[in-house]
C-alpha cells in the first residue's frame, strides 16, 4: 500500500516506542512475557477509561436526541444544557445500595456483569483506528472481533438465570436465543469481506480497501445484513426483545441496581461502539479519506453510524419474538448464503 | 505455539486482567461508601408487586432447543468458512466452485430443518 502519511502517523506510537525514555529500553516490552503482560495491562487501563468516558457522552447524546425527536428538552438543569447530568448520574449510581435478591446465585450474580462488559471492551484491541494504527494487529483480528464479544451472550443468560426472577429468566433466555440466531448471518456477512480482503488481520482489511475501494460498494448486501444483525446482536431497537421494558421490566437486569447495573449499560454501549467501528472498518474504508488524518476520518464515520443507531431507537417499534426468530432464520440466513455465492462472483470480477 | 502467537496471548492476558480490575476495584471500594440496609422484603425477587408464586428455574420452551441445534450446525460451518475464505482471492475457478458446493450442501441442512418445522416459533 503506497500512501504517504505524515511521519507522526506512520510512527508506531502504540508500541510505546515514542516515549524514548533514556532509562527505559522499549524493546523490553516486546522481548519478555512480563513486558507484554504489562503493555497489555497499560492498554487495557487506557481503553477501559476511554470507554467509560465515551459512555458518559453517549448517554447524554442519546437523551438529547430522543428529546429532540419527541419534542422535549431533555436534561437541562445540571450544568449548561444539562451537560453535567451524566456525571451526576454516575455519582448517584456509585453510592446507591447494591441489592442482591436472597434467592439469587451469589457467584453467578456477581460474575454476569463482568462477563458482559469485559469482552465488549476487549474487542477494542483489534479496531483499526487509523490506517497504520491498531492497538495490537492480531493475525486473526476479524475472527477475534466476532468471537470475543460473543461471550457477552453467556453473560446475559447468566444474569437472567442467577437473578431468580421470572422476568429476568425469560429475558436471559430470549437474549441468548436472539444472540445465537443473528450470529450466523452476521458471521457469514463478515466472511464475504474476508474473501475480498484476503486476510484476517484488521490492518490488512484497510490495506485491501485502499487498493480497491470501499467494500460497501462491492458488497452492498453484506453491509445491509451486517447492519441489521448487529442491531440485534447489541440488543438495540427494533431488536430489544430481551430487555423490553413494557413486557419484561428490563429483562435480564431487572434485579440489578447501582454500580452493577451500570456495568450492563457500559457493556451495551461498548459493544455498540465496537460494532459501529468495525462496520466502518469492514465496509467504509476505516480511516481512509482525503485531507484529514485517518484517525479523524475513522472517528467521524463511526460517530455517524452510532448516531444512526440512536435515531433508529426512537423511530421504530419493537419486533415480536416469533417475528424476530423468523427474520433471522427464514430471511437473513438464506439471504446471507446467497450473498456468499454472489460475493464469490464479485471477488472474481474484481481480482 | 509460535512465538508471535504467544506474544499476542500474553498481551491479551494483560489487557483482560486490566479489564477485570477496572470494574471490580470500584465495586469493592464502593462497598464502604454506599448504604447497605437489606431487609427480608427488599431481598425478594421482583414480580410486579406480588409475592413470587412460580419458581423461575423450571422447564422452559422446547423451541429454544431446536434453534440451538440448528445453530451448532451453522456455527461449525462458519468456522470452516473462516479457514477457507482468506485464500479464496487467489484461488482458481475450480477451487471457488468447490467452496460453493460446500455452501450449497450446508444450505440443504437449513431447508431440511425448515421443512421439518424446526424454525417455527410456537
Q: Does B65 reach chain A within 8 Å, measured CB to CB?
A: no
Q: Do the chains contact at A164 and B57, CB–CB below 8 Å?
A: yes
- Report pLDDT for A131: 67
Partner residue opposite A255 with nearest CB, options B15, B46, B82: B46
Cα separation, A273 vs B15, in Å, equals 18
Q: Which residues are bridge partners to A134 per DSSP?
A: A128
Q: Do the chains contact at A125 and B12, CB–CB below 8 Å?
A: yes
CA distances from residue A135 to A14, A99, A156, A205, B119 in whole angstroms, order as listed: 6, 37, 27, 15, 41
Q: How many helices and strands (H and E) does chain A possess?
A: 16, 0
pLDDT in tens, B34-76: 888 888 877 777 777 777 777 778 888 877 888 888 888 888 8
Question: How many residues are listed for chain A in this entry?
Answer: 351
The residues spanned by each domain of chain B are 3-115
% of chain A residues with pLDDT over 70: 88
Q: Do the chains contact at A200 and B82, CB–CB below 8 Å?
A: yes
The mean pLDDT value for A38-64 works out to 86
Could you identify the residue written with the cell 456477512?
A: A189
The mean pLDDT value for A313-332 works out to 84
- Report pLDDT for B91: 80
Q: Do the chains contact at A195 and B85, CB–CB below 8 Å?
A: yes
* Three-class DSSP category at A15: helix
CA A152, distance to chain mean position in Å, is: 11
- Report pLDDT for A287: 76
Model confidence band, residue A1 (pLDDT cutoffs 50, 70, 90):
very low
pLDDT in tens, A133-151: 777 778 888 889 888 888 8
- Is A70 a residue whose pLDDT tops 50? yes
- Report pLDDT for A10: 45
Q: Does A259 reach chain B within 8 Å, measured CB to CB?
A: yes
- Is B113 a residue whose pLDDT tops 70? yes
Could you identify the residue written with the cell 451537560?
A: A83
C-alpha cell at A267: 457493556
Q: Do the chains contact at A43 and B15, CB–CB below 8 Å?
A: yes
Q: Which residues are bridge partners to A128 per DSSP?
A: A134
Could you identify the residue written with the cell 479489564?
A: B19
Cα separation, A308 vs A322, in Å, equals 26
Q: Do the chains contact at A255 and B45, CB–CB below 8 Å?
A: yes
C-alpha cell at B73: 450446525
With a threshold of 0.95, tell me whether the complex ipTM lies above it: no
CB B75 within 8 A of CB A182: no
Instruction: Tell me which CATH code domain B3-115 carries.
Output: 1.20.58.1610
Partner residue opposite A36 with nearest CB, options B14, B22, B61: B14
∠ at Cα A235 (A126, A229), nearest 5°? 65
CB B34 within 8 A of CB A94: yes
Return mean pLDDT, chain A: 82
- Report pLDDT for A335: 92
CB A277 within 8 A of CB A135: no
Q: Does A41 reach chain B within 8 Å, measured CB to CB?
A: yes
pLDDT in tens, A199-209: 888 888 888 88
Q: Which are the contacts of A33, defined by CB distance < 8 A and separation ≥ 6?
A: B6, B7, B10
DSSP H helices, A96-201, are 106-122, 141-147, 151-162, 166-197
CA distance B93 to chain A (A): 8
The mean pLDDT value for A318-342 works out to 86
- Is A63 a residue whose pLDDT tops 60? yes
Cα separation, B8 vs A12, in Å, equals 17
pLDDT in tens, A207-260: 888 888 888 888 889 999 999 998 888 877 777 766 666 666 667 777 788 888
- Report pLDDT for A225: 92
- Report pLDDT for A2: 45
Q: Higher-confidence residue: A182 or B120?
A: A182
CA distance A304 to chain B (A): 27
Q: Higher-confidence residue: A184 or A290?
A: A184
Q: Does B60 reach chain A within 8 Å, measured CB to CB?
A: yes
Amino acid at each position: 500500500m503506497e500512501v504517504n502519511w505524515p511521519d507522526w502517523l506512520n510512527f508506531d506510537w502504540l508500541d510505546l516506542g515514542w516515549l524514548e525514555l533514556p532509562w527505559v529500553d522499549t524493546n523490553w516490552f516486546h522481548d519478555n512475557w512480563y513486558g507484554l503482560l504489562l503493555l497489555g495491562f497499560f492498554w487495557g487501563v487506557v481503553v477501559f477509561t476511554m470507554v467509560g468516558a465515551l459512555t458518559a457522552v453517549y448517554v447524554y447524546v442519546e437523551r438529547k436526541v430522543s428529546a429532540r425527536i419527541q419534542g422535549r428538552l431533555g436534561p437541562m438543569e445540571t450544568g449548561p444544557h444539562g451537560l453535567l447530568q451524566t456525571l451526576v448520574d454516575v455519582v448517584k449510581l456509585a453510592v446507591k445500595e447494591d441489592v442482591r435478591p436472597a434467592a439469587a446465585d451469589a457467584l453467578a450474580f456477581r460474575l454476569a456483569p463482568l462477563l458482559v462488559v469485559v469482552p465488549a471492551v476487549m474487542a477494542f484491541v483489534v479496531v483499526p483506528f487509523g490506517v497504520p494504527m491498531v492497538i495490537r494487529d492480531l493475525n486473526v483480528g476479524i475472527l477475534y472481533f466476532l468471537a470475543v464479544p460473543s461471550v457477552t451472550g453467556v453473560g446475559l443468560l447468566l444474569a437472567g438465570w442467577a437473578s431468580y426472577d421470572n422476568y429476568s429468566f425469560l429475558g436471559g433466555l430470549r437474549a441468548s436465543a436472539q444472540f445465537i440466531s443473528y450470529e450466523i448471518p452476521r458471521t457469514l456477512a463478515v466472511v464475504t469481506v474476508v474473501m475480498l480482503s484476503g486476510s484476517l488481520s484488521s490492518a490488512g482489511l484497510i490495506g485491501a480497501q485502499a487498493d480497491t475501494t470501499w467494500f460497501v460498494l462491492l458488497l452492498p448486501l453484506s453491509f445491509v445484513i451486517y447492519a441489521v444483525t448487529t442491531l440485534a446482536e447489541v440488543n438495540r431497537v427494533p431488536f430489544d426483545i430481551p430487555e423490553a421494558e413494557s413486557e419484561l421490566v428490563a429483562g435480564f437486569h431487572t434485579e440489578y441496581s447501582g454500580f452493577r447495573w451500570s456495568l450492563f449499560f457500559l457493556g451495551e454501549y461498548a459493544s455498540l461502539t465496537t460494532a459501529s467501528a468495525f462496520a466502518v472498518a469492514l465496509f467504509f474504508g476505516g480511516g481512509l479519506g482525503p485531507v484529514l488524518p485517518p484517525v479523524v476520518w475513522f472517528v467521524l464515520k463511526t460517530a455517524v453510524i452510532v448516531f444512526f443507531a440512536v435515531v433508529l431507537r426512537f423511530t421504530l417499534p419493537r419486533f415480536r419474538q416469533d417475528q424476530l426468530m423468523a427474520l433471522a432464520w427464514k430471511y437473513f440466513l438464506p439471504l446471507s448464503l446467497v450473498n456468499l455465492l454472489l460475493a464469490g462472483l464479485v471477488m472474481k470480477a474484481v481480482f | 505455539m509460535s512465538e508471535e502467537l504467544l506474544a499476542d496471548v500474553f498481551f491479551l492476558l494483560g489487557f483482560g486482567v486490566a479489564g477485570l480490575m477496572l470494574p471490580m476495584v470500584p465495586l469493592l471500594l464502593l462497598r464502604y461508601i454506599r448504604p447497605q440496609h437489606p431487609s427480608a422484603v427488599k431481598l425478594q425477587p421482583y414480580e410486579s408487586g406480588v409475592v413470587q408464586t412460580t419458581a423461575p428455574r423450571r422447564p422452559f420452551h422446547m423451541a429454544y432447543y431446536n434453534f440451538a441445534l440448528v445453530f451448532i450446525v451453522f456455527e461449525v460451518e462458519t468456522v470452516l468458512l473462516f479457514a477457507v475464505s482468506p485464500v479464496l482471492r487467489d484461488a482458481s475457478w475450480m477451487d471457488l466452485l468447490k467452496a460453493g458446493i460446500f455452501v450449497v450442501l450446508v444450505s440443504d441442512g437449513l431447508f431440511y430443518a425448515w421443512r421439518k418445522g424446526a424454525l417455527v416459533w410456537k
